[in-house]
Amino acid sequence: MKFTINRNLFLDNLNNVMRAISSRATIPILSGIKVDLSNEDLILTGSDTDISIEIKIPVSEDLKVESTGSIVLPARFFNEIIKKLPGKDFNFEVKEGLQTQISSENSEFTINGLDANNYPRLPEIASETAFEISGKTFREIINETNFAVSTQESRPILTGVHFVFNQAKIKAVATDSHRLSQRVIDLENGPQVETDLIIPGKSLVELSRIIGDQDPKVTVNPGDNQVLFVIGNISFYSRLLEGTYPDTDRLLPTNSTTTAEFDRASLSQALDRVSLLTHAGRNNVVKLTLDTQNGVAQLEGDSPEIGTVEEKPLAKQLTGQNLEISFNPDYLQAALRASITDTVIMNFTEALRPFTVVPGKEDVDFIQLITPVRTY
């Protein structure tokens, strides 16, 4: 196996494959990257069993093949070598005994590889149910929900985002049982058959990074226990979480007794200042008082060791009953960061019942739910 390739081209693709490599690989060979060369393309593969990434680099002026073959190389070390090589191109050659020589200009490394035949095969997923969506849309819906997944393994199903795709819409829901984020976005050409997937939050973080700020077409290819996303020359496999996701629709309140509308940025800044003290105390709790008769909203926080803080964010609109409610400010701050309108509307029912945060525009289908904290 022998080839010459443009270093920057190779490194860009190698960095994406590295997203699938775990530093705590349970199967030793998975701490490596598989390099597979044919006369048509060079394929790089990385996996940690939860995520697998395969990238194809076609033969071109930037990739010249002398002889084909395959090998597995230690990922972290291999990546560092390629980063630090001098020169525009480098040479790669597998010699006897799986020793691999990597050279560029005056630099030459020889590293030991592993037999590629021992590397696990990627799942085969039939393409009959595949469909395309906009990368920008998919990344948007990930960013607006994934922050609310659970980090506790006691309920594994909640560590993922529940997606339902149909011909007209994507609906995504995430909850850690203390908060919930649900986003619905219209689709022009969704799947003919409704598709239900629970995708681990960790997989979605890496997928979102691969999609990036561009708007590539993403092909979604659902399988039995895996889903394949194809973005250009990248194939991204993720395992699916098994089980039934909770019926979150029943958690969403259908009416409210108090409503407050705020400028999102101003409320976020006020919350930031109040959190300076609440983060210093054991109980990270903020109290929100809404005086609807006088149109005044007040945030209060304290730390027994440091002192107290009061903020009066300006409410654009305040209607309904007076209310005092306490909650974790980090949950509301995350909800505000995910919000996509300049104003947000908060709807309340009772002091100990969850409240919702929705956009200041009626045509945006996005609802976030936060559970209050009992302080007495």
CA triplet 42, 100, 120: central angle to 5 degrees? 55
Considering the domain architecture, whether residues 110 and 43 belong to the same structural domain is answered as yes
Considering the domain architecture, whether residues 320 and 338 belong to the same structural domain is answered as yes
Phi, psi for residue 335 in degrees, rounded to 5: -65, -40
* Nearest-angstrom CA–CA distance, 191 and 82: 41
- pLDDT value for 240: 97
- pLDDT value for 45: 98
Considering the domain architecture, whether residues 265 and 346 belong to the same structural domain is answered as yes
The domain total for the chain is: 3
Q: Is there a domain that residue 70 lies in?
A: yes
Nearest 10 degrees: Cα torsion 239, 77, 12, 102? -130
Q: Is there a domain that residue 83 lies in?
A: yes
- pLDDT value for 193: 87
Q: Is there a domain that residue 375 lies in?
A: no
Q: What is this structure's pTM?
A: 0.92
The Cβ of residue 305 has, within 10 Å, a number of other Cβ atoms equal to: 9
CA 290 from chain centre, in angstroms, equals 35
Tokens 């799942």 correspond to what residue? 123
Considering the domain architecture, whether residues 239 and 326 belong to the same structural domain is answered as no
- pLDDT value for 358: 96
Q: Evaluate whether 314 touches 285 at the Cβ level (below 8 Å).
A: no
With a CB cutoff of 8 Å and minimum separation 6, the contacts of 158 are: 149, 150, 152, 175, 176, 177, 246
Q: Is there a domain that residue 266 lies in?
A: yes
Burial label, 154 (beta-carbon count in 10 A; 0-12, 13-18, 19+)? exposed
With a CB cutoff of 8 Å and minimum separation 6, the contacts of 299 are: 270, 271, 274, 286, 287, 288, 310, 311, 312, 313
Domain end marker among 248, 276, 311: 248
Considering the domain architecture, whether residues 184 and 266 belong to the same structural domain is answered as no
Considering the domain architecture, whether residues 15 and 100 belong to the same structural domain is answered as yes
Considering the domain architecture, whether residues 233 and 294 belong to the same structural domain is answered as no
Domain end marker among 223, 248, 273: 248
Q: Is there a domain that residue 216 lies in?
A: yes
Burial label, 126 (beta-carbon count in 10 A; 0-12, 13-18, 19+)? exposed
Low pLDDT (below 70) residues in the chain: 376
**CATH code of the domain covering residue 328:** 3.10.150.10
Q: Is there a domain that residue 125 lies in?
A: no
- pLDDT value for 188: 84
Domain end marker among 248, 282, 299: 248
Considering the domain architecture, whether residues 8 and 108 belong to the same structural domain is answered as yes
Residues of the domain holding 141: 131-248
Considering the domain architecture, whether residues 60 and 135 belong to the same structural domain is answered as no
Residue range 252-271, pLDDT digits in tens: 998 999 999 999 999 999 99
Residue range 129-154, pLDDT digits in tens: 899 999 999 999 999 999 999 998 88
Considering the domain architecture, whether residues 157 and 208 belong to the same structural domain is answered as yes
Strand partners, 173: 162, 182
Q: Is there a domain that residue 54 lies in?
A: yes
Considering the domain architecture, whether residues 223 and 292 belong to the same structural domain is answered as no
- pLDDT value for 172: 97
Considering the domain architecture, whether residues 207 and 315 belong to the same structural domain is answered as no
Q: Is there a domain that residue 15 lies in?
A: yes
